A and B are shown apart, each in its own frame.
Chain A
Amino acid sequence: MNLKAAGVGFRYGQGPWVLRDMDLEVEPGAVVGLSGPSGRGKTTFARVLAGYETPLEGKVTLDEGPLPRGGYSPVQLVFQHPERAVNPRWRLSDTLTEGWDVDESLLGALGVDPAWLDRYPNELSGGELQRFCVARALSPQTRFLIADEMTTMLDAVTQAQLWRVVMDAVKERGLGAVVISHEKPLIDKVCDRVVYMS
């Protein structure tokens, strides 16, 4: 039932290796922190874990098998910059329902105002957009969430709000999570254990 990276290596084109021999195993209901200085490949690793990139060495497996290549992925990635993760020409209602029919209670818990649904991304703030990205990623089919600096751009109240929703999913349905963050107080608060990339 685990999300597992074994001996993962990755580089872009013929460039230098960004990742080498990376191992990580996350079980359902576990929250694993990933920390380290910038430029050490944390974001690349997040993309590999979520299936956006195929590792050149080693492999990423879910339940001992490969990540599914099509359809809704059970491993969802929430990016640091929500404005780069939504289609700028779509209304937010379309972005929100791209993957699943998001229920209203989740939107309520995330503090999404129904009035935002008609708007385009450039009319919302990063914090407002990120609530949509979290809602979009938390389908019942999602088994693992990779949060790459998910609340780095947000104010403290919104940060606490989004993490309460994610941590509820961790507790209630055994969502596993990988948390990439530079903020030690946040890592200390939500993670069971921390992997340091140096």
Chain B
Amino acid sequence: MNDAIARPDSERETDPMLDVRNLSVSFMQYAFGLHQRVFTPIIGLDAEVYPGEVLAIVGSSGSGKSLLAHAVLGILPSNARVRGEIVFRGETLSPERQAALRGREIALVPQSVNFLDPLMHVDKQVRLGVRNGRAEQSQREVFERYHLSEKAGRFFPFQLSGGMARRVLVASAVIAGASLVIADEPTPGLHPEVVKETLGHLRELADEGKAVVLITHDIDAALDIADRIAVFYAGTTVEIAPVADFLGDGTALKHPYTRALWEALPSNGFKPIAGSQPPLDALPEGCLFEPRCCCATGECKDSRPSARRRRRRMVRCLNPLDAGRGEV
């Protein structure tokens, strides 16, 4: 139905700011003395984000959304092994390059208030993001922008309310002027007006030509500001689609998991599906969503679908749902 919307080929083929290709991340764990076990929570992630664009990444928790952010920044724990390719501005991101770029060119708005130093006043923490020039001045400006009072700056993190803590996290990421901003659940638990404002600031950054990755479980937030939405499940990207596909009755969505996610929204029926993502030590041989899928066939049990791309859309499914119809 979206093809009806006139979309002239205005999608200029600029190079992506960030291009993640077939990323996998494994963790080594010790079990029973010196016996090692390997978990692979990210199996095949693909995502690309262009300058001037907000790419929202939504999906079940544990689908690898946060790990992707941490992999891009190079801040995974030391027992992690990363395969696949992460390209930033056309060049592969090596650990050395990540260390040089993070906090400058690539900034993170983290998921948890645990990322704040619990023993440092928040105004000082925010100033750490400025490596040259007038740290105090920049901090004051960014506090003003996010409606944080001077008094709030003298707080320790535990004294901040959930909403204030969130604004401090956004402020500390934005202060360095990064060209790629990865916001990992920047708005949970915030008042709708504050959510709107925070998301508005992310949209603003994209409109200034920066690339913004918004990692969120909140499809409504994604719909508000994103250009495209990537849906993750069990460490794979199952679908990437323009925001328009998520509007209306959801039947433009092609992957059964995307459809289930849409139907689980409180405003769309609040309908859960049973089970959970497959355990990492017992992954299905075929499609990772097959055990919970509405529409799986025998074929889905045997083989893993690969990503099918068309322009800036992607779907990874052997039996994608038809537009306008509930079933295949």
Contacts and interface: CB of A to CB of B under 8 A. Distances in A.
> Which of B59, B188, B190, B271 has the largest number of chain A CB atoms within 10 A?
B188
Q: Is the interface of A mostly helix, strand, loop or mixed?
A: helix
Contact of A149 (B61, B62, B188): B188
Interface string B177-196: 00000000100111111110
B265 interface: yes
Interface residues of B, number: 49
A123 interface: yes
Contacts of B270: 160, 163, 189
B119 interface: no
B266 A125 contact: no
A158 B111 contact: no
Interface string A163-198: 110000000000000000011111011000000000
Interface stretch (B13-21, B125-133, B134-142, B274-282): B274-282
B60 interface: yes
B62 A127 contact: yes
Interface in A7-46: 36-39, 43
Interface stretch (B82-90, B158-166, B311-319): B158-166
B88 to A, nearest CB: 25
Contact of B267 (A80, A153, A163, A185): A185
Interface in B1-45: 27, 29, 31, 39
Interface string B198-213: 0000000000000000
Interface of B: 27, 29, 31, 39, 58-63, 66, 77, 111-114, 161-164, 185, 188-195, 217, 219, 260-262, 264-267, 270-276, 279-282
Interface of A: 36-39, 43, 80-81, 83-84, 111-116, 118, 122-128, 130-131, 149, 152-161, 163-164, 182-186, 188-189
Given A111-B276, A149-B162, A155-B60, 10 more contacts: A38-B164, A113-B276, A124-B62, A126-B111, A156-B262, A160-B271, A164-B272, A185-B265, A185-B267, A188-B266
16 contacts: A81-B113, A113-B276, A114-B279, A115-B282, A128-B276, A153-B61, A153-B111, A153-B189, A153-B217, A158-B61, A158-B276, A159-B264, A161-B272, A182-B191, A185-B265, A188-B266
5 pairs of A and B residues whose beta carbons are closest in the complex: A127-B61, A38-B163, A111-B276, A125-B62, A160-B272
